[in-house]
Amino acid sequence: MNFKQLIEHYESLDKKDLIKKIVDKNSLILKLEDEIDRLNQEVKRTKELEQDHKQMNGNLHKEIKKLTEDLNSPLKAMREVGL
């Protein structure tokens, strides 16, 4: 149904039916707006979670690198040979 047909359809309705249609459409719009808000909040939480994950991953990478360097240090090698 194109826009012109929709207008003609609405014009053909009696006042009570037209009001009911408008109320139903408004109700649907409000539900959809609530769903959009909920999804926007979910996107925000996901982005925050992703940022936290990146930070933790970076910190773990630094810690692994430090531990690897500690394992490869000359002092560690000397301890292993008993010097």
Q: Which of 74, 76, 53, 73 is nearest to 65 (CA)?
A: 73
- Alpha-carbon distance values, 53 to 38, 49, 74, 78 (Å): 22, 6, 34, 38
Predicted TM-score of the model (pTM): 0.61
pLDDT digits (tens, 9 = 90+) for 8-51: 998 999 999 999 999 999 999 999 999 999 999 999 999 999 99
Given a contact cutoff of 8 angstroms between Cβ atoms, the answer to whether 51 and 59 are in contact is no
Domain ranges of the chain: 3-81
